Structure 1
Amino acid sequence: MSVDALLLLSFGGPEGEADVRPFLENVTRGRGVPPERLDEVAQHYLHFGGVSPINRLNRDLIEAVRAAGVGLPVYFGNRNWHPMIEDTVGAMRADGVRRALVFPTSAYGGYSACRQYDEDILRARAAVGDDAPELVKIRHFFDHPGFVLPFADAVRAAAAGFDSYRLVFTAHSIPNSFDATAGPAEWGGHLYSRQVAEAARLVALEVGVAEYDVVWQSRSGPPQIPWLEPDIVDHVDALHAKGVDNVVVCPVGFVSDHLEVIWDLDNEARERAESHGMGFARAATPGPDPRFADMVVELVQEHLSGVVPRKLSPFGTAGCTVNGEFCAVACCEPPARRPR
């Protein structure tokens, strides 16, 4: 395949106090989230001066990918904040790009982790028009060595100060109904939670830890709707009740230190552990690791040169799409919303 560019596609985040509320309104548009909930979440961002680290970390990743020898112009677009994907794809067209690969900053399947990026691509191409560049989204990479091995080293570093500890993996929670519809029906659904569990298994295996936990964080829905559980803060309470002295948390669901990582883990979970007198350490995310940038280049080479995909699990290779056309019928669709 011949391509002209690489597009890094991400979630987006505010870069100043004035950005916070408009950003949150973009994230929650059409979901009926009450204003008081937005006010609550806004305080998490304002605690850090209204700046989420995600855009800076993505720009750093882009520079690392260039330095790793990707050999293509690299563009940056977001779903929810500037630079917006519609504007970026328009700039790509103006620059003469006809076909580009898309690297989404999510390793997993599922609606928010995968299919919504396809919807972003469809929306952006529709906004640009008939001569929009062809966009080919790169596959899931939760089981790639460039994702797993940096996490394993980060766990070792985080645990270095403890004689014993409980290893706990976290990922962003989603509604149970979304998880049930994640993946083609013939795969049995639950693609997101199964891939998260597999990534956790691979990291634990590399570290040499036989017993560990997979829990969830950052739920934001109404309490009457079931989400994946247990929550990390509740799980810290449960570990304390069992007599666990030290906990090492690995945010295996995240590529880099999103605000959910630095707020929900570095603040809330840490404070809960310390209130129990427990030791707490959080493993670093892999985005800044040079092996992660090398992985991005390798994923590009799978398309350009037919490089055989490297993966550490028996899961099938999935998630690659062309122009936002979904890789399987009814894959990772959100359940129909109930009429209000």
Structure 2
Amino acid sequence: MKGISYPRYGGPEVLEYGELRDPKVGPDQVLVRVRAAAVNPVDWKCREGHLDPVLDAVFPVIPGWDVSGVVVQPGAAVTEFAAGDEVIGYVREDFLSRGTFAEYVAAPVRTLARKPRTLSFEEAAGLPLAGLTAYQVLVKALEVRRGETVLVHAAAGGVGSLAVQIAAHLGARVIGTAGEHNHDYVRTLGGEPVAYGEGLTERVRGLAPEGVEAVFDTVGGDTLKTSANLLAPEGRLASIADPEVRGYGGRYCFVRPDAEDLRHLSELADQGALSVHVERTFPLERAADAHRLSQEGHTRGKIVVTVGGEPEEGPA
């Protein structure tokens, strides 16, 4: 099969397009013909070796954890899916090797759910990692409740844009930091935009004088101190960007695959409560350009790599 891999850690230039070994399909896996795979900041962080302290790399590494595609072959123990089913997945294992930037991926059933009918393959590919991150932080870590005010940082980004929509669906009032060029976009998501940068505390206090009940941090660093100072009494703080959040009494969160959570997100999308904005797509062979754009850090919504083509019976 064709795909992208890297033989060592490094910059985007280490990504190579070419022939890869066909994946084997374990008993609890399904072989998925990939139609699209989203790019996430964690992809280039893995490629540069930043996650080496916690994840072994078995080179060559195929990058990518997000996928949308069509089931080609279920494993021997699989009853949840059949050939022809359209699925989405956050296909993460606890080592780096068998990712989604290829024509096929053998995905554990625990990482998959049925693709939302209302989303294209490109849009659906952008839902799993970012959507699960937003859902698990808001619902499980911050336990956001109806009527509360939630501050979401980087509200126009991949995770932030989904967090705004999910928090609004939960019945919360949502304030979102974003560049001024993205303020109208944040409003369409159901949030009240504020500009980030100097004076942020005063701007948020102008909207929520008593403070906010919950802060979802996606930035880290100095933003943590600002966020802690904006909390109402008994307010909660969670970060996906900086474990130093614990020093402010908050929780550090790392998304995990969860088929039930992913099914819920798919249902929200089909109900019209959740949309995925795809800022740009790249063909698989240009995955390095997709990584470069992601690394710039200013994308609205998601960047997606497309594999294209109609589902086949399996790798040649």
TM-score, normalization by structure 2: 0.37
Q: TM-score, normalised by structure 1?
A: 0.35
The structure whose residues are more often helix, as a share, is: 1
Task: Pick 1 or 2: higher relative contact order, CA cutoff 8 A, min separation 6.
Answer: 1
Q: Decide which structure has greater strand share.
A: 2
